[in-house]
Amino acid sequence: MSLRIYNTLSRAVSEFTPLEAGHVRMYVCGMTVYDYSHLGHARSMVAFDVVQRWLKASGLRVTYVRNITDIDDKIIRRATENGESIRHLTDRMIAALAEDADALGIERPTYEPRATDYVPQMLNMISTLESKGLAYRSAGEGAEGDVNYAVRKFPGYGKLSGKSLEELRSGERVAVLDGKQDPLDFVLWKSAKDSEPDDAKWDSPFGKGRPGWHIECSAMGCALLGEHFDIHGGGADLTFPHHENEIAQSEGANGVPFASVWMHNGFINVDNEKMSKSLGNFFTIRDVLKEFDAETVRFFIVRSHYRSPVNYSDVHLKDAHASLKRLYTALSLVQPAAPFEIDWQQPHAARFAAAMNEDFGTPEAVAVLFDLASEVNRSHDAQLAALLKALGGVLGILQRDPEQFLQAGNAVDAGVIEAQIAERAAAKAAKDFAKADAIRKSLLEQGIVLKDSPQGTSWEMAL
């Protein structure tokens, strides 16, 4: 069964064929590093991590680019407020981002370019757009030195978002800045202001300044993946204007389609509102990880389809943890067979593949994992346990030692628990069932659940 993907550009699910046989080139918009990443950023990183994992599991080579925006208004403002250089701030935030991503089991992209390393490529693209009549220099007071994109001169503008120029124009609420020929036009190059720090200014044919946000991704995508590549991804909030503007710039400059498939992940919501820093309703990844296990957070994201909105709450994360415990409990019953290679003809594996091949259908793929876990619980089959672990690995879960996961979060020394389990066993052997029950109850009050089996007694943390 071949892979089918929902393409925002065509508004349909259709069969995916890489431009180059056996090789997928994918670009995903990354973070603007002025603050710690929040759970909404985690949603995007995990979603596209699963995408690239499935592409690789399908036998494809993947060149994956996830950029870092390390220059923009928010970064300049935050660095100035902190009394630190832009580079110092962005280095700190990039290091924190890497820590958060690693904790969530997100594989590093092939390339993670910083925008500031690609300013020459951005200037080349802007010059090309100017030579083609798609860009113009502002002359108005307060905007002298800016270079803007002339939206109405690009015939395909609005094709990604489905918005017509008339709709956009009538809905325009932002005041026309001096020097713009049309309120829809957007900035490619921002002229430097005296109040801005020197490390926010680059020399250019248009005067000192810095790139606009949209041109950054166009330049980095073309430089690292070519003028036409397979997949461009990001959050749904980037569809317009960011991705629409990327298309206008890239296709306007190069005359070829920018990306064949446009993928957008849904939001994480709090009280049915999008989680965002501007709304002040966000939870940073590192704060959430103080309360919940990182694999639980990943599973919370993975078990929903990437295009669906997800509501964040402690209740939902606790439910995700309970569900993940069910899978790890099955793996704790039998040592998975090793070495092991997935046989995609095996019924469970075939169902998993069918789900993933239909627009990365992780909810159905996760359902297969639970069916497998039930089989493992019933049969104690080492091959099925190995398949459960291997399929979980495709989603970036179930790779830890089951006992380690089930016992995580314990504040009591494991040796003390094992001693009490031994004491309970001795009490049961002596038919002192009151003492045995008292030990079980005491441990339960400490959040420790005992599980008896023919093989002996094991323990795990209660929910």
18-265 CATH choice from 3.40.50.620, 3.30.420.40, 3.20.20.80, 3.40.50.2000: 3.40.50.620
451 is in an annotated binding site: no
The bridge status of strand 4-7 relative to strand 12-15 is antiparallel
pLDDT of amino acid 428: 76
Q: Which residue has the higher pLDDT, 34 or 1?
A: 34
pLDDT of amino acid 442: 65
242 is in an annotated binding site: yes
Q: Does the pLDDT at position 171 exceed 70?
A: no
Average pLDDT over residues 125-148: 89
CA distances from 57 to 51, 174, 186, 345 (A): 10, 46, 40, 14
277 is in an annotated binding site: yes
403 is in an annotated binding site: no
- Alpha carbon 463 to its chain centroid, in Å, reads 27
The CATH architecture annotation of domain 273-406 reads Up-down Bundle (1.20)
- Quick: pLDDT tens for 189-237: 999 999 999 999 999 999 999 999 999 999 999 999 999 999 999 999 9
Where are the domain boundaries for CATH 1.20.120.640 in the chain?
A: 273-406
217 is in an annotated binding site: yes
Instruction: Write down the mean pLDDT value for the chain.
Output: 91
Query: Secondary structure of the chain: what % helix, strand, coil (to 5)?
Result: 50, 15, 35
Average pLDDT over residues 148-164: 95
Where are the domain boundaries for CATH 3.40.50.620 in the chain?
A: 18-265
Helix axes 347-357, 382-394, angle to 10 degrees: 10
Percent of the chain whose pLDDT exceeds 90: 78
pLDDT of amino acid 113: 98
- Reported as a pLDDT band with limits 50, 70 and 90, residue 36 is very high
